Structure 1
Amino acid sequence: MPASWLDIAPDSPFGIATLPYGVFGTESTPAPRVGVAIGDHVLDVAATARALGSSLEGLLTGPTLNPLLAAGPAAWRDVRDAVTTWLTDATLADRVRPHLHDRASARLYLPFEVADYVDFYSCEHHAANVGRIFRPGQPPLTPNWRHLPIGYHGRAGTVVVSGTDVVRPSGQRKGPHDQSPLFGPSTRLDIEAEVGFVVGVPTEPGTRVRVADFADHVFGAFLLNDWSARDLQAWEYVPLGPFLGKSFATSVSPWVVPLAALAEARVAPPARDPEPLPYLRDVEDDPWGLDLRLEVRLNGHLVARPPFAQMYWTPAQQLAHLTVNGARLRTGDIYASGTVSGPERDQRGSLLELAWNGEEPLRLPDGGERSFLADGDRVSITATAPGPQGSVIGFGEVTGRILPARG
């Protein structure tokens, strides 16, 4: 791994091994453009390509990552190789340096134009916890759970970038002792710590994407918070699943980590029983389990460390299932892993689990406690992965603050 001519801390999550993509603006030039995070800086990649006379400029000019996403794996490799050269070749330093901007003062935008959004339910620990909470005395997993990655189609128009405030949703809810449903603000607002994936290369209708072809279509990964109104969800979800309890907001991190940065993080997924059907089977010696270590903070307090490596269904299997019926992929499609949880209490990725549906309120270091989110609460999710030569791959942060319901 080459060293950068920039002064970057050895443990920086945005070192030369990461090079995540985003869309940013500055105070003097607020218009959104493509950037790559490096250390404490953001590199304006289109401006750099132009200054160096690179033919890659066309892929990097514009207010979103979508042109680069659509260009495909060969272009993704060319751009990553070029950016790496720009930041490691000392002879280029004087020409590249003017296009570096302070990352802390940059304005970060939604990095891609979202086409469609699917959210999965692929963590066995989370699914089992939910089953124990809502179906006590019954098997915690539904009969189909170990046979296919369960998911629902979300609302692309309410995907927002990290830092966007989230207004508490209102809707119908019916408690166990209510004779009829009530209308009002959700009283059981929750989080779901997840990892998202963004599609670059589209497909034609009727085409299936094999597990082995995952990296030919998916550009990279990011962090996602699937905000959930549990009381609205509980009343509406029978028989068709989540709707208004999920569709009011989904927050995503501003940095997309390319799959190429995650080579050292790839691990074998957990053992599956029963063996999946052929179209869902892992490719031997080509696993797509990922050793990502998430951290969830509530008002600055660390409350959970969910381990993504234990996810039952991998992102490659999720994509294969998403398309097995011939559903078309479009550039900018995103899909999410589902809540990431581990076997220990401090590894649970939702307040529903951390507070066990309100029966065991989560105690915070400042003396407060939470069963669900209060107005003014701020939630942040971060993640890291192992990189080459002991480096750390960082995903940045997805954060959001809860505002009171309106009207």
Structure 2
Amino acid sequence: MTSLDNRLFRDVDQWNRVWVLLVYVVLVPITVVAAFRAADWTLRVAVIGLLSLLIAWHAWFITAHPHWWEEALLPMVVYFVGVVAVLALLMPLDGVLRFAVAAFFPMAFVALPGWWSYPGVLLLSLLMVEEGLVSLWRGEIAVGGFGFAAATTVAIGLIGAMMRVIEREAIESNRINARLIDIAQENVALHRRLLERARLAGVAAERARLARDMHDTVAQGLTGIVTQLETVEVESTLDESTRRRLVMVRRLARDNLVEVRRAVAALRPAALENADLADALAAEVALWRQRNEVTADFTVTGTPQAVDAAVAEAMLRATQEALSNVARHAGARRVGVTLSYLGEAIGEDLLVLDVRDDGGGFVVGERPGFGLIGMRQRVDPLGGRVEIESTQGVGTAISVSLPLGGGG
């Protein structure tokens, strides 16, 4: 909201409170004056009683319930009808009481919602013209009185309409600016996700580069060394001591080659190099089934779509971690892995991975080292979430959902 909008909105509210207070400012001295002007005690009691009732009526409906102003039609109509009725009883008692009627003109726009304000103004205008009311009661026409009432209604109605326009503009401007603030906050959050997405993409690219460099240099060099050492072992005539040392060097080179290949595999998910995500997960499940001799099924639902590289890697790593947890902790006899493309079903490009087992289960939250923290750390920056359901003796279900574009 701009400073001008704030000022307009604040001014409208302040003026409404001024009009509410004005009623008390007018009625209290009028009560005193009318009481002194009363010809006898009966009239004095009537004036004081009716004006006190009017003040109490105004205090209950308006001062005590500001949230009703221009919002609650029935209470405000009851309020205004009561005001007009009491004023109608007061008007014949003393001419000074016409000032009390004038104090309630602004209240027609403060209290009554929408077009209801204008009938309220008309009723008060008629009260200002005693002759008009008498003529109405007798069925006669009082042109002068009604002319004054009509002119008063039009003038005050125009002023009130201008007040309403200013108020609506301030409220609408407030609503629009609040929406703009929400959009700006959403853009900030989106910008942060984009930055995080770019950072992750850079990390992935750097990891892939390191993996290629290690494979093309260190791994290839060690492979060549091992090959040459094996050739020397077979073809040369060496004494036993030299041969033993040569074998030790070859084994050391081979062990280091294994470590380098392991590091390359950790840096780059090889399963995704020559296959899409579904094929890579199917191969991962098949390999896990063969290694652990546990029934494991893989299912794809929905229409497969292009998947962001970081999302695909996160899903593959989540599958590997979930299956590793099953093998180490669950004692399951059956595992089901489902990859769901939910774009057509929910109108949002969402990818969901579900891994279910019928193992021993666990109490969620009691095993934070269950590999799930790392899973969340991979998924959260991409705009996804990890959900876990587990019942001891029944099994565990892990659900990983990610936008296909990685939250960008």
Same fold (TM over 0.5): no
Report the structure, 1 or 2, having the larger strand content.
1
After TM superposition, the score normalised by the length of structure 2 is 0.17
Q: Which has the higher contact order (CA 8 A, sep 6+)?
A: 1
Report the structure, 1 or 2, having the larger helix content.
2
